[in-house]
């Protein structure tokens, strides 16, 4: 459908990767920086000064050209393609989430990322019944034309991937493509890239750490119209995926289980919180049917085409979402020191929403945003979920 | 609380039992007859003529004084007490259902019928997990001051009874007290009557038949503020109890189960239909707390006291619910033959609601009611659920 979309030039891609691979730059700050500075290269140049304003004690580490060129070389060897957020191959509904990765590293067929997708997630130590049910769901969804996304973990995830290989399986890595995790998933990944795709937002050689898994989960849910949680103990990672799905305004489905089965505690809790009960693939198909009408998908694609493209750096300023525009003058002046200190004082270790923060700060939204960008660059705060922010622990390992 | 309520005299009790034990007289027709005729004795005298008007081919069988005196004698031997619907010992919330039994035969402590009650029902061939969960629920409800009601069946029912013996267990028989069913429940029943109660609406020596079980289930749900279905295959009797509970405006709770477990299909279906998910007794306590306030219970008891009492036959006409009064003149004239035939023609083997019938009949509500009473007495129709009526199969075994 429609006109070919711009792609980043090779040199723009290097800039984008340098920016997103730089210290303290997350997807949200990446977007704010692009909006303020007009291009990734300009943002990279501005980084040290912005971080200093935010209160960074040491100079912020900026990814070097050499580092990115090495990543591109390793990526080429692995058959990884980079897809930037404004490009036509970027998954259209992932683009809608607040913390969409600016660049996805993709192995396999990017077409799989364009199709209506459902996520199936669940326990690593799943029961036999849970595994069988995940398999049934994945087959049923595949037959109905859905791609199935998951997180490549042992148990439910891998079973869902294996059952959707021929109809379209998309896996999301917590680390880089050169460090598939868990390692036993390597053969499965090779089969997935034949018909489907495996994606990662991390540097190609990144070894995943604990905190990368919840972060990865927002991409699993963000790729999908709905997320099905098959089995989940209380506090398990699958529930984080479900929480992301809710924050992203996506459907959450949960399979019920015996009140005496600890692996069903999380899913039963989800049902109490209003998730849609799923005992058969038809429950999912019925709930998602209205979202899958051709009209809606056409509209989505229109939207992507119609919006100024992130990949066309000249258009970056216009492309930023209405709430995200940092007027250049505010940026040129730097954030107000008073506002920044007030915000740092308001934040604690428990995440609060940006709305709550803006209300408590009693400052113009624009100044709050500039202050947050500077504080994040200084490594003093971190975003979590779609819309929450907290002080970063002083002795953080990150 | 409050003044002692009237009780039926011995001779009134004989009349009431004769009327409700007569052929084709169900709880609804019993009430209509009392409202029309003013007393059970007058109703018994009117029965043959009313049934003839309804189209009965053979004379309707009226229970004899001897038959009832024999029942009273057997009852006395078993320690059975009869409690009529207007008497103080009648369970107050059972009284609210459309088809409340006019007389309950009770063994044990009638006080147990006055306390806030929850029903626990489920499969006869329950899983070990289902049985354990039923037991936990029953104990938790007992600790929280609830009486637990169920149907004495194998599996979930008996486990719920056994776990609530000391805190209050109420069982409802499908047959009479002299024919406990299933027979292996006899020792359990003997223990239940020590602290709780076992009740039946059937003649004391009645051997239960298949159709008596669903009928019994309306009493189980009718005694309770809420019904919990622990495990139930599709089409099982527990789902009938749940349907009655809904019709009676009572809460329905369902325990979730694995999508692959056939014993959970019925409960998972209930969840899809909006039942409250129950994985812990707290789910039930939280949902029922508002209904259990002292105020509400006081109000219930007020209501019972305030309303003219069914036991005081002089007040019977005034006591009938507003929709149920059959003006004496309509009764004296007999129902309109045209309306009766029209109604008989409108009915089929599938139950329809009384509302639907009244609309389709295009006749005054009063005439519809008289016609239904006469048709029921003639054995041509039968009521099911709270509010539905159907033609009786010509070759019915009942």
Q: Verify whether the Cβ–Cβ distance B272 to A260 is below 8 Å.
A: no
Residue A255 has its nearest CB partner, among B255, B259, B277, at B259
Query: Are B28 and B387 spatial neighbours (Cβ–Cβ below 8 Å)?
Result: no
CB contact A261 to B (< 8 Å): yes
Q: Verify whether the Cβ–Cβ distance B133 to A278 is below 8 Å.
A: no
CB contact A132 to B (< 8 Å): yes
Instruction: Find, in chain B, the residue whose alpha carbon is nearest to that of A277.
Output: B272
CB contact A268 to B (< 8 Å): yes
Q: Verify whether the Cβ–Cβ distance B255 to A259 is below 8 Å.
A: yes
Residue B353 has pLDDT above 90, yes or no: no
* Confidence (pLDDT) at B33: 93
State the smallest CA–CA distance between residue A265 and chain B in angstroms.
8
* Confidence (pLDDT) at B395: 53
Residue A261 has pLDDT above 50, yes or no: yes
Q: How far apart are CA A94 and CA A151, in angstroms?
A: 15
Assign A360 a pLDDT band (cuts: 50, 70, 90).
confident
Cα B85 to the chain's mean position, in Å?
11
pLDDT tens column, A161-209: 999 999 999 999 999 999 999 999 999 999 999 989 999 999 999 999 9
CB contact B57 to A (< 8 Å): no
Q: Summarize the confidence of residues A90-100 as an average pLDDT.
A: 94
Residue B268 has its nearest CB partner, among A129, A272, A279, at A279
Instruction: Find, in chain A, the residue whose alpha carbon is nearest to that of B283.
Output: A272
A213, with CB counted inside 10 A (0-12, 13-18, 19+), is middle
Q: What is the pTM of this model?
A: 0.82
Residue B3 has pLDDT above 60, yes or no: no
Residue B271 has its nearest CB partner, among A129, A130, A256, at A256
* Confidence (pLDDT) at A5: 66
Which residues from A are below 8 Å from B258, CB to CB?
129-130, 133, 255-258, 261, 264
Residue A130 has pLDDT above 50, yes or no: yes
**Greatest mean pLDDT range, A119-128, A359-368, B357-366:** A119-128
Q: Summarize the confidence of residues A69-86 as an average pLDDT.
A: 97
**Percent with pLDDT over 90 in chain A:** 65
Residue A269 has pLDDT above 50, yes or no: yes
Which residues from B are below 8 Å from A257, CB to CB?
256-258
* Confidence (pLDDT) at B386: 63
**In Å, what is the CA distance from A364 to each residue of A131, A323, A328, A340, B379?**
51, 12, 15, 12, 79
Q: Verify whether the Cβ–Cβ distance B255 to A255 is below 8 Å.
A: no
Which residues from B are below 8 Å from A282, CB to CB?
none
- Prediction ipTM score: 0.77
H or E, element range at A83? strand A81-84
- DSSP codes of every residue in B275-298: PEE-SSHHHHHHHHGGGG-HHHHH
CB contact A287 to B (< 8 Å): no
* Confidence (pLDDT) at A295: 52
Q: Verify whether the Cβ–Cβ distance B272 to A277 is below 8 Å.
A: yes
Q: Summarize the confidence of residues B335-364 as an average pLDDT.
A: 83
* Confidence (pLDDT) at B308: 37
Mutate to test the interface with A, among B128, B259, B266, B270 (most CBs of A within 10 A): B259
The helix-helix angle for B27-37 and B40-54 (nearest 10°) equals 110
CB contact B129 to A (< 8 Å): yes
State the smallest CA–CA distance between residue A271 and chain B in angstroms.
8
Q: Verify whether the Cβ–Cβ distance B256 to A257 is below 8 Å.
A: yes
**In Å, what is the CA distance from A162 to each residue of A139, A218, B370?**
10, 21, 67
Q: Summarize the confidence of residues B284-291 as an average pLDDT.
A: 92
Bigger pLDDT: B234 vs A333: B234
Q: Which residue, A115, A27, A21, is CA-closest to A69?
A: A21
* Confidence (pLDDT) at B334: 56
Assign B262 a pLDDT band (cuts: 50, 70, 90).
very high
Mutate to test the interface with A, among B253, B275, B279 (most CBs of A within 10 A): B279
What value does the mean pLDDT of chain B take? 87
Bigger pLDDT: A31 vs A366: A31
Q: How far apart are CA A380 and CA A393, in angstroms?
A: 8
Mutate to test the interface with A, among B256, B261, B284 (most CBs of A within 10 A): B256
Mutate to test the interface with B, among A130, A258, A272, A287 (most CBs of B within 10 A): A258
Q: Summarize the confidence of residues A281-301 as an average pLDDT.
A: 75
**Greatest mean pLDDT range, A262-266, A339-343, A380-384:** A262-266
State the smallest CA–CA distance between residue A234 and chain B in angstroms.
13
Q: Which residue, A227, A243, A241, A235, is CA-closest to A266?
A: A235
Instruction: Find, in chain B, the residue whose alpha carbon is nearest to that of A269.
Output: B279
* Confidence (pLDDT) at A334: 56
Residue B329 has pLDDT above 70, yes or no: no
**In Å, what is the CA distance from B244 to each residue of A135, B152, B247, B252, B291?**
37, 18, 5, 10, 19
Residue B268 has its nearest CB partner, among A133, A256, A261, at A256
Assign B279 a pLDDT band (cuts: 50, 70, 90).
very high
pLDDT tens column, B62-94: 999 999 999 999 999 999 999 999 999 999 999
DSSP state for residue B172 in the 8-state scheme: E
Q: Summarize the confidence of residues A78-86 as an average pLDDT.
A: 96
Residue B279 has its nearest CB partner, among A259, A279, A280, at A259
Instruction: Find, in chain B, the residue whose alpha carbon is nearest to that of A259.
Output: B279
Which residues from A are below 8 Å from B260, CB to CB?
129, 132-133
- A111-120, B4-13, B43-52: range with lowest mean pLDDT: B4-13
State the smallest CA–CA distance between residue B257 and chain A in angstroms.
4
CB contact A277 to B (< 8 Å): yes
In three-state secondary structure terms, B390 is: strand
- A69-73, A323-327, B214-218: range with lowest mean pLDDT: A323-327
Structure tokens at A308: 């100024």
What value does the mean pLDDT of chain A take? 87
Q: How far apart are CA B121 and CA B138, in angstroms?
A: 11
In three-state secondary structure terms, A155 is: coil
Q: Verify whether the Cβ–Cβ distance A259 to B261 is below 8 Å.
A: no
Which residues from A are below 8 Å from B257, CB to CB?
256-258
Which residues from A are below 8 Å from B122, CB to CB?
none
Residue A259 has its nearest CB partner, among B256, B260, B268, at B256
Strand order in the sheet with B352-353: B352-353, B388-391, B381-384
* Confidence (pLDDT) at B146: 97
Which residues from A are below 8 Å from B254, CB to CB?
none
Residue B271 has its nearest CB partner, among A259, A261, A277, at A277
| Those residues with Cβ within 8 angstroms of residue B125's Cβ, 6 or more apart along the chain or in another chain | B154, B155, B263
């Amino acid at each position: 459908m429609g006109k070919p979309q711009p792609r980043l030039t090779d040199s723009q891609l290097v800039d984008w990767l340098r920016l997103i691979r730089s210290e303290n730059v997350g997807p949200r700050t990446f977007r704010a920086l692009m909006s303020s500075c007009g291009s990734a290269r300009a943002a990279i140049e501005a980084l040290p000064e912005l971080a200093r304003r935010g209160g960074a004690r040491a100079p912020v580490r900026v990814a070097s050209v050499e580092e990115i060129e090495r990543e591109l070389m390793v990526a080429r060897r692995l058959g990884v393609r980079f897809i930037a957020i404004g490009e036509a191959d970027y998954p259209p509904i992932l683009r809608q989430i607040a913390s969409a990765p600016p660049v996805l590293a993709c192995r396999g067929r990017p077409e799989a990322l364009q199709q209506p997708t459902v996520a199936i997630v669940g326990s690593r130590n799943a029961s036999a019944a849970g595994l069988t049910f995940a398999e049934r769901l994945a087959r049923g969804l595949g037959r109905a034309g859905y791609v199935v996304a998951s997180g490549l973990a042992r148990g439910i995830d891998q079973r869902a991937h294996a059952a959707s290989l021929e109809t379209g399986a998309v896996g999301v890595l917590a680390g880089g493509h050169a460090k598939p995790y868990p390692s036993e998933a390597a053969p499965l990944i090779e089969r997935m890239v034949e018909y489907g795709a495996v994606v990662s937002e991390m540097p190609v050689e990144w070894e995943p750490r604990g905190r990368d898994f919840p972060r990865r989960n927002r991409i699993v849910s963000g790729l999908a119209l709905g997320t099905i949680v098959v089995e989940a103990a209380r506090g398990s990672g699958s529930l984080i995926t479900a929480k992301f799905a809710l924050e992203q305004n996506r459907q959450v489905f949960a399979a019920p289980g015996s009140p005496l089965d600890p692996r069903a505690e999380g899913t039963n809790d989800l049902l109490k919180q209003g998730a849609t009960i799923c005992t058969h693939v038809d429950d999912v198909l019925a709930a998602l049917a209205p979202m899958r009408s051709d009209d809606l998908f056409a509209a989505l694609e229109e939207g992507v085409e119609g919006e100024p493209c992130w990949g066309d750096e000249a258009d970056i300023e216009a492309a930023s979402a209405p709430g995200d525009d940092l007027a250049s003058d505010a940026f040129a002046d730097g954030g107000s020191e008073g506002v920044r200190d007030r915000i740092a004082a308001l934040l604690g270790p428990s995440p609060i929403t940006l709305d709550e923060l803006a209300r408590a700060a009693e400052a113009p939204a624009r100044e709050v945003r500039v202050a947050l960008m500077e504080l994040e660059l200084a490594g003093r705060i971190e975003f979590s979920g779609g819309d929450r922010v907290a002080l970063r622990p002083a002795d953080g390992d990150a």
